[in-house]
Amino acid sequence: MTFIEAIILGAIQGLTEFLPISSSGHLVLAQHFLEIKDAGNELEVLVHIGTLASILVVFSNDIKSILVNIKSKKNQSFVFLLLIASLPAAALGIGYKDFFELLFDDFYIVSKALLFTGFILCSSYFFKPKNKYHNINSAILIGIAQAFAIVPGISRSGFTISCALLLGINPKDAAKFSFLMAIPAISGAGLMTFIDTNGDFSLSLSVGFGALLSSFLVGVISLRWLLRWLRKGKFHYFGIYCLFLGLVMLLK
Protein backbone atom coordinates (compact mmCIF):
# COMPACT_ATOMS: atom_id res chain seq x y z
CA MET A 1 0.00 0.00 0.00
CA THR A 2 1.27 3.43 -0.89
CA PHE A 3 1.39 6.50 1.34
CA ILE A 4 -1.29 8.25 -0.73
CA GLU A 5 -3.61 5.22 -0.59
CA ALA A 6 -3.21 5.08 3.19
CA ILE A 7 -4.07 8.76 3.53
CA ILE A 8 -7.14 8.34 1.29
CA LEU A 9 -8.43 5.32 3.24
CA GLY A 10 -7.72 7.06 6.55
CA ALA A 11 -9.60 10.17 5.41
CA ILE A 12 -12.55 8.07 4.21
CA GLN A 13 -12.65 6.29 7.58
CA GLY A 14 -12.48 9.59 9.46
CA LEU A 15 -15.22 11.14 7.32
CA THR A 16 -17.64 8.23 7.22
CA GLU A 17 -17.13 6.87 10.75
CA PHE A 18 -19.15 9.79 12.08
CA LEU A 19 -21.28 10.97 9.18
CA PRO A 20 -24.25 8.58 8.95
CA ILE A 21 -23.24 7.12 5.60
CA SER A 22 -21.40 3.93 6.73
CA SER A 23 -17.61 3.86 7.04
CA SER A 24 -17.44 0.12 6.31
CA GLY A 25 -19.48 0.51 3.12
CA HIS A 26 -17.30 3.35 1.85
CA LEU A 27 -14.08 1.50 2.64
CA VAL A 28 -15.35 -1.45 0.60
CA LEU A 29 -16.06 0.97 -2.25
CA ALA A 30 -12.71 2.75 -1.97
CA GLN A 31 -10.72 -0.50 -1.94
CA HIS A 32 -12.70 -1.70 -4.95
CA PHE A 33 -12.09 1.41 -7.07
CA LEU A 34 -8.46 1.82 -5.92
CA GLU A 35 -7.98 -1.90 -6.61
CA ILE A 36 -6.58 -2.52 -3.16
CA LYS A 37 -7.11 -6.22 -2.61
CA ASP A 38 -6.34 -6.20 1.11
CA ALA A 39 -5.84 -3.03 3.11
CA GLY A 40 -4.50 -5.12 5.97
CA ASN A 41 -5.60 -5.52 9.57
CA GLU A 42 -2.90 -3.15 10.78
CA LEU A 43 -4.41 -0.30 8.76
CA GLU A 44 -7.79 -0.97 10.38
CA VAL A 45 -6.19 -0.76 13.83
CA LEU A 46 -4.55 2.58 13.05
CA VAL A 47 -7.63 4.24 11.55
CA HIS A 48 -9.68 3.02 14.52
CA ILE A 49 -7.18 4.68 16.84
CA GLY A 50 -7.46 7.86 14.78
CA THR A 51 -11.26 8.01 14.89
CA LEU A 52 -11.28 7.10 18.58
CA ALA A 53 -8.96 10.05 19.24
CA SER A 54 -11.39 12.27 17.31
CA ILE A 55 -14.20 11.42 19.74
CA LEU A 56 -11.97 12.05 22.75
CA VAL A 57 -11.07 15.50 21.40
CA VAL A 58 -14.54 16.65 20.32
CA PHE A 59 -16.25 15.35 23.46
CA SER A 60 -13.34 16.12 25.82
CA ASN A 61 -15.42 18.45 28.01
CA ASP A 62 -18.24 15.90 28.38
CA ILE A 63 -15.79 13.09 29.17
CA LYS A 64 -13.92 15.26 31.67
CA SER A 65 -17.18 16.25 33.36
CA ILE A 66 -18.23 12.62 33.70
CA LEU A 67 -14.87 11.51 35.12
CA VAL A 68 -14.53 14.44 37.53
CA ASN A 69 -18.06 13.93 38.85
CA ILE A 70 -18.14 10.13 38.56
CA LYS A 71 -19.44 9.81 42.13
CA SER A 72 -22.71 11.51 41.21
CA LYS A 73 -25.62 9.13 40.66
CA LYS A 74 -26.48 10.87 37.38
CA ASN A 75 -23.06 10.21 35.85
CA GLN A 76 -22.86 6.69 37.26
CA SER A 77 -26.25 5.94 35.70
CA PHE A 78 -25.12 7.42 32.36
CA VAL A 79 -21.94 5.32 32.28
CA PHE A 80 -23.99 2.22 33.21
CA LEU A 81 -26.37 2.89 30.30
CA LEU A 82 -23.42 3.29 27.92
CA LEU A 83 -22.06 -0.08 29.00
CA ILE A 84 -25.48 -1.73 28.62
CA ALA A 85 -25.83 -0.25 25.14
CA SER A 86 -22.41 -1.64 24.17
CA LEU A 87 -23.25 -5.26 24.99
CA PRO A 88 -25.36 -6.28 21.93
CA ALA A 89 -22.70 -5.24 19.40
CA ALA A 90 -19.94 -6.84 21.48
CA ALA A 91 -21.81 -10.15 21.71
CA LEU A 92 -22.73 -10.19 18.02
CA GLY A 93 -19.29 -9.04 16.85
CA ILE A 94 -17.43 -11.68 18.86
CA GLY A 95 -19.89 -14.51 18.26
CA TYR A 96 -20.27 -14.01 14.50
CA LYS A 97 -16.99 -12.34 13.61
CA ASP A 98 -16.14 -14.64 10.69
CA PHE A 99 -19.62 -14.30 9.18
CA PHE A 100 -19.52 -10.49 9.18
CA GLU A 101 -16.04 -10.46 7.67
CA LEU A 102 -17.37 -12.37 4.65
CA LEU A 103 -19.95 -9.64 4.04
CA PHE A 104 -17.20 -7.11 3.28
CA ASP A 105 -16.50 -8.96 0.04
CA ASP A 106 -20.15 -8.87 -1.07
CA PHE A 107 -20.83 -5.75 -3.16
CA TYR A 108 -24.52 -6.65 -3.38
CA ILE A 109 -24.96 -6.86 0.39
CA VAL A 110 -23.22 -3.51 0.91
CA SER A 111 -25.44 -1.81 -1.69
CA LYS A 112 -28.64 -3.19 -0.11
CA ALA A 113 -27.44 -2.15 3.33
CA LEU A 114 -26.76 1.40 2.10
CA LEU A 115 -30.29 1.56 0.70
CA PHE A 116 -31.64 0.44 4.06
CA THR A 117 -29.53 3.06 5.82
CA GLY A 118 -30.84 5.71 3.43
CA PHE A 119 -34.44 4.69 4.14
CA ILE A 120 -33.94 4.92 7.91
CA LEU A 121 -32.17 8.29 7.69
CA CYS A 122 -34.86 9.78 5.45
CA SER A 123 -37.52 8.46 7.84
CA SER A 124 -35.82 10.29 10.72
CA TYR A 125 -37.27 13.52 9.30
CA PHE A 126 -40.60 12.45 10.80
CA PHE A 127 -39.16 11.55 14.22
CA LYS A 128 -40.17 14.41 16.49
CA PRO A 129 -38.02 14.86 19.62
CA LYS A 130 -39.93 14.98 22.90
CA ASN A 131 -37.01 15.77 25.23
CA LYS A 132 -37.15 12.33 26.79
CA TYR A 133 -34.16 11.02 28.75
CA HIS A 134 -32.11 7.88 28.28
CA ASN A 135 -33.15 4.90 30.38
CA ILE A 136 -32.46 1.17 30.49
CA ASN A 137 -34.98 0.44 27.72
CA SER A 138 -33.64 3.12 25.35
CA ALA A 139 -30.06 1.96 26.04
CA ILE A 140 -30.93 -1.61 25.06
CA LEU A 141 -32.75 -0.54 21.89
CA ILE A 142 -29.97 1.84 20.82
CA GLY A 143 -27.47 -0.94 21.59
CA ILE A 144 -29.37 -3.31 19.31
CA ALA A 145 -29.31 -0.62 16.59
CA GLN A 146 -25.53 -0.41 16.99
CA ALA A 147 -25.26 -4.19 16.66
CA PHE A 148 -27.04 -4.05 13.27
CA ALA A 149 -24.39 -1.60 12.10
CA ILE A 150 -21.76 -4.34 12.10
CA VAL A 151 -23.12 -5.16 8.64
CA PRO A 152 -21.06 -3.17 6.09
CA GLY A 153 -23.24 -0.48 4.56
CA ILE A 154 -25.30 0.13 7.69
CA SER A 155 -24.25 3.31 9.46
CA ARG A 156 -23.50 2.99 13.19
CA SER A 157 -24.07 6.67 13.91
CA GLY A 158 -27.06 6.81 11.56
CA PHE A 159 -28.84 3.88 13.16
CA THR A 160 -28.12 4.75 16.79
CA ILE A 161 -29.03 8.44 16.45
CA SER A 162 -32.16 7.65 14.42
CA CYS A 163 -33.21 5.13 17.06
CA ALA A 164 -32.74 7.73 19.81
CA LEU A 165 -34.70 10.33 17.84
CA LEU A 166 -37.50 7.82 17.28
CA LEU A 167 -37.63 7.28 21.07
CA GLY A 168 -38.16 11.02 21.57
CA ILE A 169 -34.64 11.93 22.71
CA ASN A 170 -33.47 15.35 21.54
CA PRO A 171 -30.76 15.50 18.83
CA LYS A 172 -28.01 16.82 21.14
CA ASP A 173 -28.44 14.02 23.71
CA ALA A 174 -28.92 11.44 20.93
CA ALA A 175 -25.60 12.40 19.33
CA LYS A 176 -23.73 12.57 22.65
CA PHE A 177 -24.90 9.08 23.64
CA SER A 178 -24.19 7.65 20.19
CA PHE A 179 -20.62 8.89 20.02
CA LEU A 180 -19.71 8.19 23.63
CA MET A 181 -20.97 4.61 23.22
CA ALA A 182 -18.74 4.45 20.16
CA ILE A 183 -15.68 4.61 22.45
CA PRO A 184 -16.01 1.00 23.69
CA ALA A 185 -17.31 -0.12 20.27
CA ILE A 186 -14.38 1.31 18.30
CA SER A 187 -11.89 0.27 20.99
CA GLY A 188 -13.22 -3.28 20.95
CA ALA A 189 -13.16 -3.50 17.15
CA GLY A 190 -9.61 -2.16 17.08
CA LEU A 191 -8.50 -4.60 19.78
CA MET A 192 -10.00 -7.59 17.98
CA THR A 193 -8.31 -6.55 14.74
CA PHE A 194 -5.01 -6.07 16.55
CA ILE A 195 -5.26 -9.58 17.98
CA ASP A 196 -5.76 -10.89 14.44
CA THR A 197 -2.47 -9.30 13.37
CA ASN A 198 -0.56 -11.36 15.99
CA GLY A 199 1.58 -8.28 16.53
CA ASP A 200 2.94 -8.52 12.99
CA PHE A 201 2.78 -5.04 11.42
CA SER A 202 3.97 -4.87 7.82
CA LEU A 203 3.08 -1.23 7.13
CA SER A 204 5.95 1.24 6.99
CA LEU A 205 6.06 3.96 9.64
CA SER A 206 5.20 6.73 7.18
CA VAL A 207 2.24 4.85 5.68
CA GLY A 208 0.86 3.93 9.10
CA PHE A 209 1.28 7.45 10.46
CA GLY A 210 -0.36 8.94 7.37
CA ALA A 211 -3.45 6.74 7.80
CA LEU A 212 -3.72 7.46 11.53
CA LEU A 213 -3.28 11.22 11.17
CA SER A 214 -5.70 11.59 8.26
CA SER A 215 -8.40 9.54 10.02
CA PHE A 216 -7.97 11.67 13.16
CA LEU A 217 -8.00 15.11 11.49
CA VAL A 218 -10.85 14.32 9.11
CA GLY A 219 -12.70 12.62 11.98
CA VAL A 220 -12.63 15.78 14.10
CA ILE A 221 -13.90 17.89 11.20
CA SER A 222 -16.68 15.48 10.18
CA LEU A 223 -17.86 14.92 13.76
CA ARG A 224 -18.18 18.65 14.44
CA TRP A 225 -19.90 19.10 11.08
CA LEU A 226 -22.45 16.38 11.87
CA LEU A 227 -23.26 17.93 15.26
CA ARG A 228 -24.04 21.24 13.53
CA TRP A 229 -26.26 19.52 10.96
CA LEU A 230 -28.14 17.70 13.72
CA ARG A 231 -28.88 20.97 15.50
CA LYS A 232 -30.22 22.38 12.21
CA GLY A 233 -32.49 19.37 11.65
CA LYS A 234 -30.72 18.28 8.46
CA PHE A 235 -29.86 14.74 9.56
CA HIS A 236 -32.16 13.18 6.95
CA TYR A 237 -30.18 14.78 4.11
CA PHE A 238 -27.57 12.04 4.50
CA GLY A 239 -30.28 9.50 3.73
CA ILE A 240 -30.70 10.91 0.23
CA TYR A 241 -26.99 10.38 -0.39
CA CYS A 242 -27.10 6.79 0.89
CA LEU A 243 -30.10 5.96 -1.29
CA PHE A 244 -28.34 7.38 -4.35
CA LEU A 245 -25.07 5.56 -3.64
CA GLY A 246 -26.86 2.29 -2.87
CA LEU A 247 -28.76 2.45 -6.17
CA VAL A 248 -25.59 3.21 -8.13
CA MET A 249 -23.84 0.22 -6.54
CA LEU A 250 -26.85 -2.03 -7.07
CA LEU A 251 -27.03 -1.19 -10.78
CA LYS A 252 -23.27 -1.42 -11.33
pLDDT digits (tens, 9 = 90+) for 31-75: 777 776 655 567 777 888 899 999 999 999 999 999 999 999 999
The tens digit of pLDDT for each residue in 223-238 reads 999 999 888 888 889 9
**pTM above the 0.95 mark?**
no
If one counts every other C-beta atom within 10 angstroms of the C-beta of residue 203, the result is 18
Which one is predicted more confidently, 161 or 17? Answer: 161
> Angle formed by the axes of helices 237-251 and 156-166, to 10°?
130
Q: Comparing 84 with 152, which gets the higher pLDDT?
A: 84
Residue 247 burial (C-beta neighbours within 10 Å; 0-12, 13-18, 19+): middle
